[in-house]
Amino acid sequence: MRSRFWVMLDTSMLIAFVALQSWRLTGVVVHEWLSVALIAGLLAHLVLHWSWVATRSRRVLAPRSTRTRVNYAMNLTLFIAATVAMVSGFMISKVVLPLHPTPVNYLKWHHLHNISATTSLICLGLHLALNWTLMVTALRNFLRRRPARVWSLRLKPLLAPLAIITVSVIILSAALLAVERIMPAGDVTIIQRDGRRIEHAPPPPDIARLRPDEVPPSTRGLPKFILMSAMVAVSAVVGRKVLRMRLD
């Protein structure tokens, strides 16, 4: 049962991760609630694989552990980038947690959100390359419907991982708040109805508000969804074939 749950969870997270890169495809409302669901999935994923995190954390400074260090650094980068994307997403939220930031602050957080989301997507492709053999084996077992061992969940061993993850997120959030304060104020390019462009314009006063055109899903987001899917696939192929990444 554990392997089946692992396959379904990770497959759902992969699809959600890519879909979140194009908010026009889902609309802002679904985009934000899907992000909340993804956070729960990421927590479950980390807890389920905490033994790997714990053992590699102890081995990362050991001699002759280059592969371990590379794998660990890539996964750590993915965690940091995903956390930054989630925190900055909440700071510019219009539905789940509307904090109503000023237009200037909204642009700062939006910039951090875009950079961290793109970084997360590339790292996700490398993460797929790293775990390719393990995932293919689990998927084959899932499709063949092999009998699975009974999986019992004990809550006590989960407390330490959850505490470590929570403290890490709090530290990253505090660092992000400090970074946002020293970031220069951004500007936008406005294209008016008559086609005129206004460069380096101040952000519109309503930029942090939910507009009617942002609510419904739209096929306008489909090209970006396809592009982001291709980016994950390319990252996975490069990691697998060129960098020859695999679990240590």
Render pLDDT for 81-119 as a digit per residue (tens, 0 to 9).
999 999 999 999 999 999 999 999 999 999 999 999 999
Compute the residue count for the chain.
248
Question: For position 97, what pLDDT does the model report?
Answer: 93
Question: Which of the pair, 117 or 134, is modelled with greater confidence?
Answer: 117
With the CA atoms of 34, 35, 40 and 46 taken in that order, what torsion angle do they form, in degrees rounded to the nearest 10? 130
Q: Please compute the mean of the pLDDT values over residues 41-54 and round it to a whole number.
A: 89
Alpha-carbon span 196 to 191, nearest angstrom: 6
The token duo for 144 is 């063949």
Q: What is the pLDDT of residues 194-212, one digit of tens each?
A: 878 888 888 888 899 999 9
At 150, the pLDDT band (50, 70, 90 cuts) reads: very low
Return the structure tokens found at 96.
């789940």
> So what's the pLDDT on residue 153?
56
Domain ranges of the chain: 2-242
Residue 142's pLDDT band (boundaries 50, 70, 90)? confident
Q: Is the pLDDT of residue 43 over 50?
A: yes
Helix (H, G, I), strand (E, B) or coil at 210: coil
∠ CA(100), CA(170), CA(82), 5° rounding? 75
Q: Predicted confidence band at 2 (pLDDT cuts at 50, 70, 90)?
A: low
Residue 154: what pLDDT?
Answer: 65
Mean pLDDT, rounded, for 177-186: 92
Instruction: List 190's β-bridge partners, or say none.
Output: 198
- Coil vs helix vs strand at 2: helix
The Cα angle at residue 25 between residues 21 and 27, in degrees rounded to 5 = 95
Q: What's the confidence (pLDDT) of residue 146?
A: 57
Report which of 95, 93, 96 is spatially closest to residue 105, judged by C-alpha positions: 93
Q: What is the pLDDT of residue 68?
A: 86
Task: Pinpoint the alpha helices (H) of the chain.
Answer: 2-19, 23-26, 28-48, 50-59, 66-91, 103-130, 132-144, 156-182, 222-237
Do residues 74 and 127 touch, judged by C-beta distance below 8 A?
Answer: yes
Mean pLDDT of 233-241: 92
Q: What are phi and psi of 200, to 5 degrees?
A: 55, 45
